[in-house]
Amino acid sequence: MKKLLITLVILLGLGLILKLTLFKSMSKEVEVFEKTSTNKSDTHKVKQLIIAGPSASVSHPIFKMIEDGVFNELAEKVVFKLWKNPDQLRAMIINKEVDFVAVPTNVASILYNKKQPIKLLNVSIWGILEILSKDKSVHTIEDLKGKELVVPWRGDMPDLVLQSVIKQKGLKEDDIKLIYVSNPMDAAQQLILGKADHILLPEPATSMVLRKTGSFPVKIIAPTVFRAIDLQKEWGEGYKRATKIPQAGMAVVGDMIEKKEIIAKFKTEYAKAMEWYKSHPKESGELVVKYVEMFNAKAIADSIEHVQLDIKSATESKEELEFFFDVLKEKDPKIIGGALPDENFYIKD
């Protein structure tokens, strides 16, 4: 009985720890960070430059850009808005509250096709999805046949890619039982507390879970967890293409679309910041947690090795984007806004 009580206390404590520390930024309010230029006298400057993005890897180079003050010559103030759900993102764009935004590529297509003022600047995230498992013999989607898989964000990017791969690999819809949860936190909890054997997560959530399962007190009862399936690899094998998917990048919004000088500056500095981010994982982790406190700096450093980070301009990415959008459109045209976006969706090099 004493042993049972101790176990129950540990489980309850784990639930609280996970809710408070693993993905606590799922709250609904947009977080705003500001940095003011040291020299406001230049009349050619814009009053403020507003950049928005999620807590995911696509936003992390932006934090380096803000810290380094790369826009001091162009803007009196730089504002970063951390959006936490698609509704916040849509509201920002519809209301023209941002100038640049880090966004899933299909969401950019949806908004463009709905006549919103948005154009794609680049694609930088080509691989971010993995399946974690307690079973070290699981390596492919086919290995999950007859099993349950917990998936966050039904109908969003992770789910869309997963379902496309399942179909392309010749599996039937009911071969894998998909259990949907509202966010990565819920999926992680189910795995750690023994309620699930396999979960799909994006980085850096994957690295967060692996760090958490190896740390005290979670490791007392948490199972050994493996990086089991690289979903991009499965995509490449299924579609006979490169093992990469154009999942997210930067877009330009509203009046900023006409400001070529600032766009060019942003494009150059984002590429520099990405290279620094990739080559300085320890320092990058320490920087990211200044903006996204829910993250663990070491987990961010871990995640950099497991994300395909490669900046390609929108026009360079067009072929891969259109293939990806065609796959999504086959499932439901609404996923990309009804049709492939036309040429004006892509900011020209």
pLDDT at residue 67, as a whole number: 95
Residues 258-301 pLDDT 10s:
999 999 999 999 999 999 999 999 999 999 999 998 899 999 99
Residue 25 has pLDDT above 50, yes or no: no
Report how far apart, in Å, the C-alpha atoms of 141 and of each of 39, 63, 145, 294, 313 are: 55, 35, 7, 30, 31
Residues 26-40 pLDDT 10s:
445 678 878 776 655
Q: Are strands 226-230 and 177-181 parallel, antiparallel or unpaired?
A: unpaired
Lowest mean pLDDT among 83-87, 264-268, 326-330: 83-87
Residues 106-156 pLDDT 10s:
999 999 999 999 999 999 999 999 999 999 999 999 999 999 999 998 988
Closest by CA to 208, choosing from 183, 188, 180, 228, is: 188
Lowest mean pLDDT among 7-11, 26-30, 188-192: 7-11
Q: In the beta sheet, which residues pair with residue 77?
A: 36, 48
Whether 26-127+244-345 shares its CATH topology with 128-239 is answered yes
Give the residue extent of every domain in the chain.
26-127+244-345, 128-239
- Distance from the Cα of residue 224 to its chain's centroid: 25
Q: What CATH number belongs to 128-239?
A: 3.40.190.10
Residue 41's pLDDT band, with cuts at 50, 70 and 90, is low
Structure-block tokens of residue 108: 């950019």
pLDDT at residue 39, as a whole number: 58
Q: How far apart are CA 337 and CA 321, in angstroms?
A: 14
Residue 90's pLDDT band, with cuts at 50, 70 and 90, is confident
Q: In terms of pLDDT, which residue wins out, 30 or 186? A: 186
**H helix or E strand, kind and range, residue 264:** helix 260-279
- Mean pLDDT of all residues belonging to the chain: 89
Q: What is the mean pLDDT of residues 59-66?
A: 97
Q: What is the mean pLDDT of residues 39-67?
A: 88
Residue 56 has pLDDT above 70, yes or no: yes
pLDDT at residue 40, as a whole number: 56
Residue 3 has pLDDT above 50, yes or no: no
Residue 12 has pLDDT above 90, yes or no: no
Residue 11 has pLDDT above 70, yes or no: no
Exposed e or buried b per residue across 250-286, where buried means at least 16 C-beta atoms within 10 angstroms of its C-beta: bbbbbebbebeebbebbbebbeebbeebbeebeebbe
Residue 216 has pLDDT above 50, yes or no: no
Residues 331-347 pLDDT 10s:
899 999 999 999 999 99
pLDDT at residue 210, as a whole number: 92
Residue 219's pLDDT band, with cuts at 50, 70 and 90, is low
Q: What CATH number belongs to 26-127+244-345?
A: 3.40.190.10
Residue 99 has pLDDT above 70, yes or no: yes
Q: In terms of pLDDT, which residue wins out, 43 or 20? A: 43
